[in-house]
Structures are given as C-alpha cells and as structure tokens.
Amino acid sequence: MSHETYIVHMDLSAMPTVFSSHHNWFSATLESITTTSTTVTSSKLVYSYTNAINGFTALLSPSELEFIKNTPGYLYAIKDTTVELDTTHSIQFLGLSSKAGAWPVGSYGKDVIIGVVDTGIWPESESFNDVGMSSVPSKWKGECEDGFQFNSSLCNKKLIGARYFNKGLLSNHPNLTLSMNSARDTDGHGTHTSSTATGGCVKGASYFGYGTGTAIGVAPHARVAMYKAVWEEGPGLRTLHNGTPWVLTVAASTIDREFTGMLTLGNGVSVMGLTLYPENSSLSQVLMSFVGACHKDFDSKEVYRKIVVCFDSNNTLLDQYYNVEGRNVSGAIFITNSTDVELFMQSSYPVLFVDLDSGNTVMDYLKKVNNGKAKASMKFHGTRLGTKPAPRVASYSSRGPSNSCPVVLKPDITAPGSLILAAWPDSLSPAVYIKNDLGTGFKKLYSKFNILSGTSMSCPHASGVAALLKTAHPNWTPSAIRSAMMTTSDIQDNTFKPIQDIGDYNNPSTPLAMGSGHVAPNRALNPGLIYDINPQDYVNLLCGLNYTKIQIQAITRSSNVNCSNPSLDINYPSFIAYFQINNTSTNKVIREFKRTVTYVGVGRSMFMAKVTTVGGLNVSVSPEKLSFRSMNEKKSYKLRIEGSYTMEDEVVYGYLSWMDSKRKFVVRSPIVATSLPMTGLTF
C-alpha cells in the first residue's frame, strides 16, 4: 500500500488533559493506528507544529489517513508537495534557510523594528499581514497617523507605525496640491522596499507570471514603521548621495535568476532572451523582418505585423527601442550586449533581448532563408534560476569614493538589487502594453507585486540582515553589525571567480563598486572580530574634516563638542589611501592607519594577518599576530602603505585578512589606493 506525506491540521483545544504536550498527543494519535488496525502500519511522525499551524506532518497510507480523519481534534489534511521557490529569490541567494544560520538564530528578526523613510506604504498588502505575530513590543513609542485614505486602524502588529512629513515641501510650494496627503503609497517604491526588508510570507506571488512562488522578506518577523518623506510632487528619487560614515552604504548587484522568453525560429532552433513583457500572449509563426540599425528611419510598411530584428552595434538601444515601439510590429528581437537591458525589459510590446551569441544564431537563420520567408514564434513568462555568474555589480550602482566623506571607503557592501520582486500597491499599474492595431493605445495592467531594480532594492536586503544580527546579538552596536556584515562578505561569485562589474565591461569589481563584497548573512552571525566605533570617534572625524562646531552640534544634537583630537582615520573595517602628487613630493609616499578589533569568539584565539598584493605598493601590518584570551578583549594594529609618487594606476586594491589559527574565522577588509583627488570628486 502506497504511503505519502500529509500535513495534518489539528485543534489544540481538543487535546485530552492526559497529554503533557501537543507532541505527545500527536504521537499517541499515530500510535493508535497500530492498535486498531489488523495490518502492519508504517505511519511515522515527521514534524509537529504549534507556531505557524497546529498539527503535524506524517507519512500515511490512504486507510491511515481515513483513520486520522475520524480522531478527535482533526481539522483537515493536505498532501505535502514540493515547495515553490521564493519569489524574492534573493532570500535563497543569500543562503537564508529555516534549517540553520541567520534565520533561526536571528529569530527571523523577531521584534526588531525597521524604520523606512520612503514614499509611504500600502497597508492592505498581504506582505504586511500580522497573522501569528506577537503583541507590539512595549519599547515602541511611535504612532500610526490618520490621513487621507489612511486610518490609523490600518496599522497592526506588523505595520506598527506610519507617519507622513510634508510641511517642508508645502512651505516651499504653498500652492502645491498633494494627491495623497497621508502615509499611503501612491508611488509604490516604499511598499516595495519595506516588504523586501520585512515582508511576511505570501504564497502565489508573481509579476504577471514571472517568478511565480512565495514572497517573503529578509526579516519576516520584524516590524515595520513607515515614514513617508518622499513625495511625487517634491524632490525626485535618487537625489541623495550617501557617503555618511555612520550609516551602511549598499551597492546593488544581480542574483542568479533571469526572466526570460523563448524565440523559436522557423527551422526549429530556439534561443532564449531576456524579457518582462507582461501581457499573457505569445506569437506563433510570424514573419520576420531584419532592419539592423533600428534607431534609424525605416519603412513601417515593411515591418507591419512582423517580428523586427534589430542589431545594437553602437550602444543605441534606447533610440532603437522607442523607434520600434512607434511602429505597428508584432514583436521585436534586439541583439545587444548593452548593460542597460534591465531598463527596457518591462516593455509595452513583445520584445526579447538576446546576446551576441544567440544573435548570431538568429542571423544565420535569416541568411539561409529566402527573403520574406523567415518566420519565428515568441513565448514569454519564463523564469530561469541558477544563472552564472552571479552576483555581478549592476551598471547603475553608484561608485565611490564619496564626495561627502572621501576618507572612508564607500560603498560598504553590495546586496541583491537587480530585478527584485516585492509587494506593490494594487491600485497602481506597474505595467502597460499596446492594445490596438494602430500601436498608439496603451492598456494598464495591475498586480500586487512588481519587479524593480536599484540600490533602493539592495538597501532593504541589508537592513533585513542587520535586523537578524540585532536579534541574535542584542548588545551589538550599529557599527559592530556593519563590521560583521562587511568583514564576512563574499568577493567571489557562484563560479568561484572574482565578482564582476557589469558597468566595467564585466571586469573584476573593485571595492569602489562593491565595497567589501556581497553580504553573507550566515557568516555575519559569527565574524570572530569586529571593528567598533563610538560616538566620539565620529566627532573626531568631523573635526578632521574641518566641520565647524556649530555644524557638528547640528549633527550630534549635543552642545558638548570636543575637537581636541581631530582625525581623518576612523576605526572602519576598510581602508582607502590617497596619493596626491605635487611638485614637492619625494620618491615615496606613506599612509598609515590604526585599527582596534574586538574579539567576539569563545575561548582563546590567535589571529594572523595576511595581505594580498595592492598594485606595486608595499603594504605591511604591525603586529602581524593578535592574541586573545577571552570574549570582548580588544587589540590594536597599524597598517602601513608605502608607494611611489609616480603611481601609474588610478586605482589599485587588495585585502587584509585576519585568520585565526584554526581557520574558523577570516576577517577581511578591502584596501584601496588611488591617485584620485580627495576633493572635487565626480563619482
């Protein structure tokens, strides 16, 4: 008799008083099958549950299942099926798992409150459902503010705070009429970012069929407090360039997932292309027309109701895409190696973007078929996982150094930011498609989820990881959490080669693009050593940067400003050295840094320094060994960079790693040396 795994939901209120726990009750229920059956049973308790559900998982035959259905407390049973991959696949790409690591150790971010300053929130989104969450922590002192189409009752145990701030905006523009004077999101950005950081589990999520599965945030048990301070009618997004040393600055990178469509040529050969065309349609055996340089003028009659093939040879994809959109075509194939394909994937007409290799396959077919006879079919809504190499730093991700604080290497780290699927207000249309034969009318499509790219998507991933670390280490300071994330990050992709930079022709990424590396939540739980920073250290840095006392008071909110020890060297988990050259320079230039590390391991440990080559510079560490006897012990060291004033390369980099004798810990920091000027930067 065949057996299958079932998830059985039970009513705990029906548990007899003779049982000391639900687990004993479920076990006894299964054991009773043996005593009442004349046949040998193989029923087996797999799991018992009291958190997400009340019940158990067991291996049952059909007759055993029927027996269970007649036992006291039985509610219903469902057959255990293969779990769908997370729609926010970045969760899996980060290595987060319910079995071990940052999720269970960090209690999924339980009771950590993540504050989000953004465009507001859509409280009705399922990602902010509070089912199963405990009461709001007593430490919470915030509020849920009433506003236009936003009642305070919309907050719950998940969305515990929502406020909106626009008095500054209105004072500058007194005649401005706000479309939504409340914390409600009319842009979608805030809903997307907050659900990425802390969204709860939502099954059946997708973007018009792309990435179908279960959506979940990085810290799903954390709370969210939304502060709407970005308005469609005010300053635009992406106007803040963040180099502040006391915050975490996050670059954006790809994950190992692509959204695809399939082009099947008339000879039966198929090639895959990138797309996010939303409409639920496909094209079958449509005539093809090769145009080539589609940004130039061409005869619309020649491409009428055909699949146009365009070749992007001079980085003219923008002009080509919109030029074709204005013609009445059935679809388009863009052969391109552009780094900006993501910007056009959510197209309004059927489009596939294929690389040069696949493009050659298409061109070979077109050359072999008589003119006017070539045909092809297009299908959409594909999702491909496990793509390589990944991660890669996105082309749009901002590079360092920072104008505001060039002596601190920025960004700090990179995290998933490309094509991230997360919650979306269902009143906003995230996509349109051309709906009439004239090619001029557009139809809006609606979805509860949307796919966006940007550092705005990578930041909430890092915030969620920080929430997990805060739960696991409640006494750690923000700088300790940042340090743990930076020094345990990955500098290799899933092919075990250096992470590439799409914006630099897929060359190995420098720390000016990816910071210390790609965040690795599970390793960050136990970093071995941390670089901690106290408030006075930041004040010393501001003093060294020649901030006035009044300016520092505005930042610190304290009238007691002590600038007796100004310094441009702060206890940061990274290094950047400038080699500005002038006519009085000697043959050698020396830069020195002092760092103090805190041991966060258990028992005695010895760490040894290892430095990779940094261009042609001479880098040394003193001392080369650090010995620790107990947790929280601190030790200091100096890093010295010696170079020639004739430094040939504009930027060189390497790494300092502190490794313990048992090789349990590798505490890595990037080292950048540059001949760029410290001021007047244009990055």
Residues carrying an active site annotation: 118, 189, 456
Cβ partners under 8 Å of residue 449, min gap 6:
87, 205, 206, 207, 215, 421, 422, 423, 424
Dist CA 119 CA 176 (whole Å) = 17
Kindly give the interhelix angle for 535-544 and 549-556, rounded to the nearest 10 degrees. 150
Coil, strand, or helix at residue 227?
strand
Asked whether 160 and 136 are in contact (CB, 8 A), the reply is yes
Parallel/antiparallel/unpaired status of strands 223-228 and 392-393: unpaired
Three-class secondary structure of residue 108 per DSSP: helix
Task: Measure the CA–CA gap between 136 and 115, rounded to whole angstroms.
Answer: 15
Extract the tokens encoding 416: 């998933």
- The sign one gets for the Cα dihedral 391, 393, 397, 402 is positive
Query: CB atoms < 10 A from the CB of 367, how many?
Result: 9
Rounded to whole angstroms, the Cα distance separating 54 from 1 reads: 28
For the beta carbon of residue 280, count every other beta carbon within 10 angstroms.
Answer: 11
Q: How far, in Å, are 115, 259, 555, 669 from residue 479 at the CA level?
A: 17, 37, 17, 15
The one-letter amino acid at 449? F
- Adjacent-strand bridge partners of 289: 308
The radius of gyration of the chain from alpha carbons, rounded to an integer in Å, stands at 29
Name the residue with tokens 């469609």: 232
